[in-house]
Structure 1
């Protein structure tokens, strides 16, 4: 099933259809600002027998909603001790939002009532639309979108539990929310309903505040991309968290990711569907296709989206990124009261590429003045448990004084401060109050960020959360998740700096060939070589010959030894049919090999253009460069070790086009085989800049084929120092 089948938004093959333009206008940032902050709500289908209605009323109460709430039921005169009206048309004035609990068969009638009553915003709980997977459900959803556009209704759902807007104090949400609702800077978009309660509970337990959290349902009108755009503009949101089963509009998603990076709002995403079972689960849940996970991962990395592997990692990473104390460099100082914690931190820091340098001489001198004689003044710093056990030391605030000294070290970019948050008030509550006040003061005056950690990912007690809140402190939950979050934060900041320093992506190049004259299938290698040469890609010299005598003459001109390959658009895997001969060092060998490869080709097809003769290239390094077309993200570049290694190792790095040489160099550095490029075992190091320039040219050549492109591959791309040549090329085009 295609995305168009699910949402029914593209009406013709020439661009965005009229229906989608109408849908987009209903979900504009201006419309969503009012949608997510209603001051009056009608609950349609409210009755004591509805668990959904009861949850929504409880959630509104927990959020502190103080606006007008109207209950609607066609036959019951009252519900939950409140009077009802039989329909939205019976309201004396329109409400800002109608939450529709009616069964699927009645939803369209309720939408008509809403429009007649002057209501423009609705949430639809009912399922049985595109989520069912059947054509009847998809047609019902197409009709739902059409009616929403016709009636000017901004609609969240169907198959949706609603949203929680902690910033505005309103939560029309169909599951239980454990009070209190914690307000903060994290906006969350979930392509899931039931997980919202888990997200809220974990965030609350770890001191992570929410601005807006919404479940998306089937995204018939309001899509995840629409809400992301809203959150980028939202002043209450500092970081965006996503739970995604699919990326339904990849081009818009990447454009929004670029914009979020520019304005400094990190996006942290948990994207499921990596396995076949996960992809089927996503399809069964909402009717959405999960897509090629390797391409999704590459696109996230390329456009600054931090991808995580669990809800805990999502929330802890987002909590750190939204805390206001984000690491901006890789040099970390560590202050703890545990030697064992120092060991764990050192190991996990190495995993994340975080450096723990020696303290400067002045810092070491200051620490030796402060610490007990048995403590070592080195990074990571263990101030020892004496600060916790010894009353006099605690009163003297040794930990805080040491933190002050470390945070002033000019060799550090940030400090990790491991603290213990009490579960309950101690006999003398002034001690933790004073300790937290000192930490808060140090954080405020520190010239570098101080990130406060707990040793384990434990829930905060009510006392502990209140203590931190009173002093404006955020504590990252646990060393394991915490250092993962630190690594993510550093990489996001580096990506943002890199993006700011780079020019905007180039537009698609003009076609180098007549697009209406392209083959419907593979090209002959001779024609593919001509395409690369015209684009400026260095290609190994070659001559197309028709018989063995011409091959011998060509070999002598080009220089022995040579390779001879059959040239035919109908033969893409030449070696499989005996159509390739390598290392031919004598004229007689060239003659015999040419006879052989031509005979092998003609045994397969009548469409043989001749044989290509080219000089052999030995030594050096072989790379693979390929551009294929992902059905969602479009042209995708793959770079890896070439020759036989591409099939054996499958060591490739991917990017969505377009790319520039800087991005290609980064791709080469991601390969497991990157040490080979650096000159492992005495080989000549690869000139990465020269390779990056050539690969970028290859990518632009592929894009110049426009929508006809299916595949462009070079395997191998031979590199000897700064000498780069394409040795074998495949191009496949087809209907756009």
Structure 2
């Protein structure tokens, strides 16, 4: 049980979480993020924070009143002040709490008495500051629950809502705010200025920007749920250091994918130093980065590697262009740019096909004699010498021809707009209006880009806005965004197909797992018994305890054979000389038993005997194992087996549950997938048989429940349709609750 404020009944963990969620429902967050009146509790002209928040509210143009709350001053920043929230004639929609940490709880009590239901808490010194801070934060949550307060923070700078003209925010902002379709959720307050600056300079409109702080009551996942229901938000951009609610986040990501509302994430902590920094900043758990990649890919989350890529990708996706097929046409005024785009298209898996003969003929008539009618298309500097006709210049006519080509799915089109008003603005407007009409009436998407990531001048932004045109900033960011958009479109199509066929091929749920009798590593004999009970195909094996039994077992199994010491205390048998391979006769089998058994007894007291198995030659060795990620729970890894799994690091990951069909996808993702197809005269592997065997492994792992630590088979031997586990390792720990993962298909 966890205690709450003095005199209140204790709240258990499950009850606290349910109550917290009620305070952060989308209907509550609508009031938090769209206030018409704001009180600044603790505002004083000597405080830099107060000056910034007041300036931001003024820049945002809040339509209602702003009331400083300060008992020692009649006015603050030229605004009439109230001595307390209780003294307000009517409640405000939001209180921005700027008081010291030790005074926050009294402000919460005052807000509740005054009928204020929404708070932003600036103060730090909570969960990010150690054990005492964590206890202080837990008390804050309990008090918010008791008082029915929706609280953003603590340790937050606030938020900006351009549509509501609300900016209770502790950093400078650019005025006027640019409303748009990208909702931004940041687990970092200081990055907000960079996000706002880049968005403003490149004409990216926002529906919300929220600095999350410690997420004591309102979490990043809660804000995503709110944005999913917000009609003005068309894409969600997130900067994440940690994922505090993995199951909730994945469920919401799948909901967003189904709804056609992309989620784009910059998740830091890819390196050991990055994880350590994230943990130090947030005090939350960080999962393995490769697992994060796998979870995001499966849930349709677009993962990016920079703030610029985050915002540009979200902006492109927010436009709602139907980018689903990969064949791209390119129109540029630079041959060098065409070369760069072709290379970046290859990187992103985007096709640049040859044009149809009819398109080439049409382009040849338009282009000067020295230009080549091909894709990517360089319209050359001749466009400067050929004046537009009826608003359409050479590049625009070439764009129309490209859009009509049956081998093209979308066009990546160069668009340059002057930074200052030209001598003949009418010609510019006529051209842009014609271009907007062409793109708007085309059956295929047109993605406009600039050659470099250059800031848009106020004039350029105004001209583009007037004609409803968007330009991706630079080839590098533009092509990255296009690649992400295509992958997101394919992920959505895949999920919708699965929804259409809900029966699917996920393994049926087995009986409720039982805690195992043992903890730590299991002997291989016990590991084999568990695997066999769930249908894992195993190489035949006999457990022997004497040299005579070893000779008899080897004779029965057929030579050559392998002998391995069997002990729970020796999971890595070859390291201590506990393995003999390619044993070819009875005497050799007996002698090998003596060596292997003696090596085991020299290192452990729990030697059960020696396993004798036939040697397998030829074929392919694979690896498959299930381990437990601290954030996302049980995760399946498959890759090339034996020593290659560590040397090549060629592994594909998926969180459980995993269907046989998904296992086949994982095998296809390996860099060594060609080996499974039987290159250089090798026997092709029956991938379906491998997938069924690996699925049986996942059932065995799931049967261990929260006691699972590791279940690994390395190697599997695969020869055509023959699939056998040659070595099985099981490690369990004390039965503890592992992170929940959604069980629906995705």
Q: TM-score range by the shorter chain?
A: over 0.9
| Counterpart among 466, 469, 476 of residue 473 in structure 1 | 469
Aligned to 1:36: 33
The SS at the match of 1:17 is: helix
Q: Is the 8 A contact 2:387 2:393 kept in 1?
A: no
Q: Is the 8 A contact 2:388 2:394 kept in 1?
A: no
1:201 corresponds to 2:197: yes
**Equivalent runs, 1:211-290 vs 2, <5 Å:** 211-290=207-286
**Larger CA deviation: 69-78 vs 546-555:** 546-555
Deviation per CA, 1:15-54, whole angstroms, max 9, x where unpaired? 9521121111111111111111111111111222222222
Aligned to 1:8: none
CA distance in 2: counterparts of 1:72 and 1:672, whole angstroms: 63
**Equivalent runs, 1:461-500 vs 2, <5 Å:** 461-500=457-496
Structure 2 vs 1, CA of residues 711 and 511 (structure 1 numbering), >3 Å: closer, same or farther? farther
Aligned to 1:45: 42
> How big is the shift at 1:554?
1.9
CA distance in 1: counterparts of 2:393 and 2:554, whole angstroms: 83
CA distance in 1: counterparts of 2:688 and 2:216, whole angstroms: 46
The SS at the match of 1:301 is: helix
The SS at the match of 2:550 is: helix
Aligned to 1:455: 451
Deviation per CA, 1:348-395, whole angstroms, max 9, x where unpaired? 111111111111122222212222222211111111221134336796
Structure 2 vs 1, CA of residues 187 and 604 (structure 1 numbering), >3 Å: closer, same or farther? same
> How big is the shift at 1:501?
1.9
**Equivalent runs, 1:543-554 vs 2, <5 Å:** 543-554=542-553
Structure 2 vs 1, CA of residues 359 and 155 (structure 1 numbering), >3 Å: closer, same or farther? same
**Equivalent runs, 1:101-116 vs 2, <5 Å:** 101-116=98-113
> How big is the shift at 1:506?
4.6
Aligned to 2:510: 510
Aligned to 1:441: 437
The SS at the match of 2:81 is: strand
Aligned to 1:27: 24
Q: Is the 8 A contact 2:392 2:434 kept in 1?
A: no
Q: Is the 8 A contact 1:568 1:609 kept in 2?
A: yes
**Equivalent runs, 1:312-711 vs 2, <5 Å:** 312-391=308-387, 397-502=393-498, 503=502, 506=506, 509-511=509-511, 515-711=514-710
Aligned to 2:742: none
CA distance in 2: counterparts of 1:223 and 1:505, whole angstroms: 34
The SS at the match of 2:90 is: coil
Deviation per CA, 1:418-467, whole angstroms, max 9, x where unpaired? 11121111111122212211211111111111111110111111111111
> How big is the shift at 1:645?
1.3
The SS at the match of 1:438 is: helix
Q: Is the 8 A contact 1:185 1:236 kept in 2?
A: yes
CA distance in 2: counterparts of 1:296 and 1:412, whole angstroms: 34
Q: Is the 8 A contact 1:408 1:447 kept in 2?
A: no
CA distance in 1: counterparts of 2:514 and 2:38, whole angstroms: 55
> How big is the shift at 1:12?
12
**Larger CA deviation: 709-718 vs 389-398:** 389-398
| Counterpart among 155, 175, 178 of residue 171 in structure 2 | 175
CA distance in 2: counterparts of 1:517 and 1:103, whole angstroms: 51
- Structure 1 residues not aligned, in runs of 5+: 6-10
The SS at the match of 1:536 is: coil
| Counterpart among 171, 180, 186 of residue 190 in structure 1 | 186
> How big is the shift at 1:303?
1.5
Q: Is the 8 A contact 1:508 1:704 kept in 2?
A: no
Structure 2 vs 1, CA of residues 507 and 129 (structure 1 numbering), >3 Å: closer, same or farther? farther
CA distance in 2: counterparts of 1:625 and 1:295, whole angstroms: 15
Q: How many residue pairs end up in the alignment?
A: 725
Structure 2 vs 1, CA of residues 541 and 458 (structure 1 numbering), >3 Å: closer, same or farther? same
CA distance in 1: counterparts of 2:385 and 2:221, whole angstroms: 52
Structure 2 vs 1, CA of residues 161 and 517 (structure 1 numbering), >3 Å: closer, same or farther? closer
CA distance in 2: counterparts of 1:286 and 1:635, whole angstroms: 24
Q: Is the 8 A contact 1:509 1:704 kept in 2?
A: no
The SS at the match of 1:713 is: strand
Aligned to 1:713: 712
> How big is the shift at 1:210?
0.2
Q: Is the 8 A contact 2:69 2:85 kept in 1?
A: yes
The SS at the match of 2:551 is: helix
> How big is the shift at 1:251?
1.5
CA distance in 1: counterparts of 2:566 and 2:239, whole angstroms: 49
The SS at the match of 2:603 is: coil
> How big is the shift at 1:507?
7.8
Deviation per CA, 1:272-308, whole angstroms, max 9, x where unpaired? 1222322232233232333322222221122111111
Q: Is the 8 A contact 1:505 1:659 kept in 2?
A: no
- Structure 2 residues not aligned, in runs of 5+: 4-8, 736-746
> How big is the shift at 1:568?
1.9
CA distance in 1: counterparts of 2:270 and 2:421, whole angstroms: 45
CA distance in 2: counterparts of 1:686 and 1:435, whole angstroms: 58
Deviation per CA, 1:686-724, whole angstroms, max 9, x where unpaired? 333322222222122211211111110000011112221
Aligned to 1:160: 156
Deviation per CA, 1:136-169, whole angstroms, max 9, x where unpaired? 2222111111111111110001111111111222
Aligned to 1:125: 122
CA distance in 2: counterparts of 1:199 and 1:430, whole angstroms: 34
Aligned to 1:81: 78
> How big is the shift at 1:627?
0.6
> How big is the shift at 1:64?
2.5
Q: Is the 8 A contact 2:127 2:134 kept in 1?
A: yes
CA RMSD between the two structures: 2.1
**Larger CA deviation: 642-651 vs 461-470:** 642-651
Deviation per CA, 1:461-516, whole angstroms, max 9, x where unpaired? 1111111111111111110111111111111111111122224785873248x724
> How big is the shift at 1:656?
1.2
